[in-house]
Amino acid sequence: MEISDCVIKKQKRIISDDSLYISLTDHIHTSIERYREGILLKNQLLLEIKHFYKKEFELGLWTLSLIEEKYNIQMDDNEAGFIALHIVSSEVGKNISDVYEITGFIQGILELVKNYFGRDFNEDSLSYYRFVTHLKFFGLRVFNQAKHIQDDSLNNDLLEIMKEKYVQPYLCALEIKSLIERKYDYCLEDEEVLFLTIHVAKIVSNK
């Protein structure tokens, strides 16, 4: 509980879910018992967690340093990834299983964009980080079947401008739209296509 308290205080600006105290404390306690028994678990989403939730993963690594200092137990990156998922679930107000789904959602769209342009992108760039953050909360709306309240006339005008200025990013956004409608039965509105176009354009130009 002391370690959980330290972790939550370190990130108190972004964490408001008191249930994190319970879930994180339970996870740390269970992890310590597992390590003492020599039982190590592999985190199947570790690579994605490192890429999509960098700040949360760094906090997970910091948590491991507290555990090592207090209990003399060295845990690996897999465990930092599990801790990061607990933090992410608290940030978005969902349980761990929902976060796994959202992570898969992000991965699928990023793969589509990479394949569309036939290139990798700078994953350390601000534009890439912003795109991933957008996809995280966009994924929440998709799974909740929620829509933005939007000004259709304004967004339609902006989308027309973006279509002409960023032809390929717009066409890529339409591919994303098709994927989401087909796989998640969620119909994207012009506003969502507009945001996707802007984000894709930025990571392509790396601005």
151, with CB counted inside 10 A (0-12, 13-18, 19+), is exposed
Q: Is the pLDDT of residue 111 over 90?
A: yes
Determine the pLDDT at residue 147. Answer: 60
Instruction: Give the residue with greater pLDDT, 160 vs 203.
Output: 203
Q: What is the C-alpha separation between 168 and 170, in angstroms, rounded?
A: 5
Locate 94 and state its tokens.
């969902």
Q: What is the C-alpha separation between 147 and 142, in angstroms, rounded?
A: 8
- Average pLDDT (149-155) is 53
Determine the pLDDT at residue 67. Answer: 95
- Average pLDDT (94-102) is 79
Q: What is the pLDDT of residues 44-71, one digit of tens each?
A: 889 888 988 988 999 999 999 999 999 9
Q: What is the pLDDT of residues 2-30, one digit of tens each?
A: 888 888 887 664 445 567 788 889 999 99
Q: Is the pLDDT of residue 157 over 80?
A: no
Instruction: Give the residue with greater pLDDT, 13 vs 84.
Output: 84
Contact in structure between 171 and 202 (CB atoms under 8 Å): no
Locate 22 and state its tokens.
């319970």
How does the average pLDDT of the chain come out, rounded?
86
**Which residue reads 């990798």 in tokens?**
120
